[in-house]
Structure 1
Amino acid sequence: MTPDLTLPYDGILPEFSSRPVWCGRGSAVIGAVRLGSRAWIGDGGVIRADGQPVTLGERFWLGHRSTVHIATYSHGTVAGDRVTVGRNSVVHACTVGSDVVIEDDVVILDGASVGDHAVIEAGATVFPRAQLAGGFVYAGSPAKSVRPITPAEVDERAERLREAAGDPVQAAAGDPPEVEATVFVASTARLRGRVSLGAGSSVLFSCDLHAEVGPIVVGADTNIQDNTVIRTRGEGVVIGRDTTIGHNVRVSDSRIGARALIGIGARVAPGTVIADDVMLAAGATTDPGQLLEGGYLWGGRPARILGPLDSTKRAMMVRIVEGYCEHGRAYRKAEAALS
């Protein structure tokens, strides 16, 4: 089987050692990806190499709605053989050894390294540049070693995780929404209800935006990255302009200001108000009704102020927005060439 969507980036198409054993609905493999033999990609799984390469070994297993990505200007992603990734996890710009189990809702961040025969337990966050030695179980945020583990136990955990994959979780993509010419909505994304997208905005692969009750309003040049879910059951979600919503974020009825960055795997609870010029760290959560004051980096579970938003972080946030405007134009062109 082949993914639902295979796209080139900068003229480079993915390379498959052999056809994957399984590719679920809404799955996408993009750009300079090398995928080993006997791979398995779950529903909504996204492997995206748009700026740096992604190299994944034999029997790589990517669970439903999980994402593999790179850091455009600095790091690719490499994984060895027999790596198993659970549901709703993100493997981002890092190096993962062989015979590694990454359970559900895990985030591994830029420059991190995970050794052979390791297990990252559900809900853990591996911080940037962390070096996790092989042969241990890791848990928490930041992920820390819990106990040693044998290769036989790693194999057993991998088998249990694959068996627990269960039924698909990705709904089929709906009809393409009517948007203006500068907006990009990936063909594997799903938009339902009253969704308004500002000029130059982008909704990436396998996102699910469902305005069940209130509307979802997205500002100009804002990017919503792969496998993010935004769902309203009350007043709705409003996101300001020039904002980045990272991979695998979950957003309920809330307000997110302009020039904000919501980090990979974060959770924004109902009633949250995030001011302009806020960075919410990867894996962070907010409490219902929480107010995040502008001008700060927030992180933790629940989120608290970690420090001021300095000029380096602000410049990085601007670069991400500019980069995703370019990505949106490139992906619109690439998807148009398929039709």
Structure 2
Amino acid sequence: MALIKSYRGLAPKWGKDCYFSENATIVGDVTMGDECSVWFNAVVRGDVAPITIGNCTNIQDGSCVHVTHETGPTHIGNYVTIGHNVTVHACTIHDNALIGMGSTLLDGCEIGEGSIVAAGALVLQNTKIPAGEIWGGVPAKYIKPVRPGQTDNAKHYVAYSKFYLEEGETEPIKF
């Protein structure tokens, strides 16, 4: 079972049919909608400000979602994909966005609806990415518009999480 921990009296809350891998960590003032998933070694830590996550959003393996004291919370919309090993820090990600593997989003940045942050990108503090654009690089800059269907990954992770939920806990194999 995932590590679910309260902090200063605030405990994580989530909707129905969510999947949290056995070594995911979710701490403090975190609110998630329905059918969300937090995958292996991912951390969602709402200790010094709140984190809100909409429905059908996935936070993939090794990612860290955090906040900044007195700077701001983190807001993540519906059908958002946070790829493997991503750092999301005190920012806003609107619905249907895709955050590519290994990217970093710094305090106060805003990712527009249906936008893509390319793998390995660094989105600097207070950067505003408009809806429907692909940004990449270090620091991240505009690349091109998003094609229709290009950010539909979240629905696949809803299906994957259902397979894991159906599987349930597994007893270790003894040799």
TM-score of the aligned structures, taking structure 2 as reference length:
0.85
Structure 2 residues not aligned, in runs of 5+ = 161-175
Alignment check: 8 A CA contact 1:135 1:151 kept: no
Q: Offset of 1:4 from its aligned partner?
A: 1.3
Distance 1:58 1:161, change over 3 A: closer
Shift of 1:161: 8.3
2:36 aligned with 1:54, yes or no? no
Q: Retained in 2: the 8 A contact 1:86–1:161?
A: no
- Structure 1: distance between partners of 2:36 and 2:17: 8
Q: Does 1:122 align with 2:119?
A: yes
Q: Is the 8 A contact 1:117 1:151 kept in 2?
A: no
Corresponding position of 2:93: 96
1:35 aligns with 2:32: yes
Cα deviation for residue 18 of structure 1 reads 1.9
Report the counterpart of residue 107 of structure 1 in structure 2: 104
* Cα offsets for 1:232-270 (capped at 9, x unmatched): xxxxxxxxxxxxxxxxxxxxxxxxxxxxxxxxxxxxxxx
- Alpha-carbon offset, residue 25 of structure 1: 2.7
Q: Number of residues paired by the alignment? A: 159
8 Å CA contact 2:56–2:155 kept in 1: the answer is: no
Deviations 1:9-56, CA, capped at 9 Å, x for gaps: 110101112241x22131011101001100111101110001110000
What secondary structure does 2:4 align onto?
Answer: strand
| Cα distance in 2, alignment partners of residues 25 and 138 from structure 1 | 33
Equivalent residue letter for 1:9:
Y
CA drift at 1:85:
0.9
**Share of identical aligned residues, percent?**
28
Gaps of 5+ in 1: 166-339
1:140 paired with 2:137, answer yes
Say if 1:117 and 1:154, in contact at 8 Å, map to a contact too: yes
Alignment match, 1:9 = 7
Asked if 2 retains the 8 angstrom alpha-carbon contact of 1:54 and 1:70, the reply is yes
Runs of 4+ in 1 over 4 A off after TM superposition: 159-163
Letter in 2 for 1:103: G
Where 1:152 maps in the other structure, the secondary structure is coil
TM, length-normalised to structure 1: 0.45
Aligned alpha-carbon RMSD (Å): 1.9
Indicate the structure whose relative CO is greater, using CA pairs within 8 Å and at least 6 residues apart.
2
Correspondence for 1:18 among 13, 16, 19: 16
Structure 1 or 2, whichever has the larger Rg, is: 1
